[in-house]
Amino acid sequence: MGKITIEQSQSPKTKPDQNNLGFGNYFTDHMFIMDYTEGVGWHDPRIIPYQPLMMDPATMVFHYGQAIFEGLKAYKARDGRVLLFRPHKNMARINISNDRLCIPPIDVDFGVEAIKALVKLEKDWIPEAEGTSLYIRPFIIATDPYLGVRPSLTYKFMIILSPVGAYYPEGINPVKIYIESKYVRAVKGGIGFAKTAGNYAASLKSQVEAQNKGYTQVLWLDGVERKYIEEVGTMNIFFKIDGKVVTPLLEGSILDGITRDSSIALLKHWGIPVEERRISIEEIFQAQADGKLDEAFGTGTAAVISPIGSLNWNDNIITINNGQTGEISKRIYDTITGIQSGAMEDPFGWTISVE
Ligand SMILES: *Cc1c(COP(=O)(O)O)cnc(C)c1O
Partner residues linked to 351 by β-bridges: 85
| Residue 20 covered by a domain | yes
**Number of compact structural domains in the chain:** 2
Verify that 192 and 105 share a domain, yes or no. no
| pLDDT band for position 78 (cuts 50, 70, 90) | confident
Verify that 182 and 120 share a domain, yes or no. no
| pLDDT band for position 170 (cuts 50, 70, 90) | low
The DSSP secondary structure of 39-102, one letter per residue, reads TTEEEEEEEEE--PPP--TTBHHHHH--EEE--EEEEE-TTS-EEEESHHHHHHHHHHHHHHTT
Q: Any residues with CB less than 8 A from the CB of 4 and at least 6 apart, and which?
A: 32, 45, 46, 47, 113, 114, 117
Q: Which atom of ligand 1 is nearest to the CA of 236?
A: 10
DSSP code for 15: P
Verify that 225 and 88 share a domain, yes or no. no
Partner residues linked to 295 by β-bridges: 240
Torsion, Cα of 145, 147, 151, 157 (10° steps): 30
Verify that 127 and 214 share a domain, yes or no. no
For residue 71 and ligand 1, the question of a CB distance below 6 A is answered with yes
Looking at residue 169, its pLDDT comes to 63
**Nearest CA owner, ligand 1 atom 12:** 234
What is the spatial distance between Cα 221 and Cα 217, in angstroms, rounded to a whole number? 13
What is the spatial distance between Cα 72 and Cα 300, in angstroms, rounded to a whole number? 10
Q: For residue 236, give its domain range.
A: 175-340
Report the 3 state secondary structure along 118-166.
Answer: HHHHCHHHCCCCCCCEEEEEEEEEECCECCCCCCCCEEEEEEEEEEECC
Verify that 152 and 66 share a domain, yes or no. yes
- Mutation test of ligand 1: which of 23, 203, 234, 336 has the most ligand atoms closer than 8 Å to its C-beta? 234
Please give the model's pTM, rounded to 2 decimal places: 0.97
With a cut of 70, say whether residue 137 has pLDDT above it: yes
Report, as an integer, the average pLDDT of 240-248: 97
Verify that 129 and 191 share a domain, yes or no. no
User: Phi, psi (5° rounding) for residue 33?
Assistant: -150, 140
Last residue of a domain, one of 164, 194, 220: 164
With a cut of 80, say whether residue 97 has pLDDT above it: yes
CATH number at residue 118: 3.30.470.10
CA of 249 to the centre of ligand 1 (A): 14
pLDDT digits (tens, 9 = 90+) for 186-221: 999 999 999 999 999 999 999 999 999 999 999 999
Looking at residue 135, its pLDDT comes to 98
| pLDDT band for position 172 (cuts 50, 70, 90) | confident
Verify that 55 and 135 share a domain, yes or no. yes
Verify that 105 and 246 share a domain, yes or no. no
CATH number at residue 288: 3.20.10.10
Report, as an integer, the average pLDDT of 102-126: 98
| pLDDT band for position 70 (cuts 50, 70, 90) | very high
Report, as an integer, the average pLDDT of 325-354: 96
Q: Which atom of ligand 1 is nearest to the CA of 72?
A: 9
Helices vs. strands in the chain: H and E counts, helices first: 7, 18
For residue 91 and ligand 1, the question of a CB distance below 6 A is answered with no
Verify that 137 and 192 share a domain, yes or no. no
Q: Which atom of ligand 1 is nearest to the CA of 231?
A: 11
Under a CB-based contact definition with an 8 Å cutoff, are residues 249 and 256 in contact? no
pLDDT digits (tens, 9 = 90+) for 13-61: 999 999 899 999 999 999 999 999 999 999 999 999 999 999 999 999 9
With a cut of 90, say whether residue 168 has pLDDT above it: no
Verify that 148 and 239 share a domain, yes or no. no
For residue 300 and ligand 1, the question of a CB distance below 6 A is answered with yes
| Residue 169 covered by a domain | no
pLDDT digits (tens, 9 = 90+) for 297-318: 999 999 999 999 999 999 999 9
CA of 236 to the centre of ligand 1 (A): 7
What is the spatial distance between Cα 334 and Cα 346, in angstroms, rounded to a whole number? 13
For residue 156 and ligand 1, the question of a CB distance below 6 A is answered with no
Candidates 272, 274, 273, 224; CA nearest to 251 is 224
CA of 191 to the centre of ligand 1 (A): 14
| pLDDT band for position 233 (cuts 50, 70, 90) | confident
Average pLDDT value over all residues in the chain = 96
Give the distance from CA 141 to its chain's centroid.
Answer: 18
Dihedral of CA 336/342/344/346: which sign? positive
| Residue 96 covered by a domain | yes
Verify that 155 and 297 share a domain, yes or no. no
CA of 194 to the centre of ligand 1 (A): 10
Give the Cβ contact number of residue 49 at 10 Å. Answer: 13
Verify that 150 and 186 share a domain, yes or no. no
Last residue of a domain, one of 138, 164, 190: 164
Q: Which atom of ligand 1 is nearest to the CA of 90?
A: 7
Report, as an integer, the average pLDDT of 139-148: 98
**Nearest CA owner, ligand 1 atom 10:** 235
- Mutation test of ligand 1: which of 68, 93, 137, 255 has the most ligand atoms closer than 8 Å to its C-beta? 255
Q: Any residues with CB less than 8 A from the CB of 96 and at least 6 apart, and which?
A: 193, 194, 256
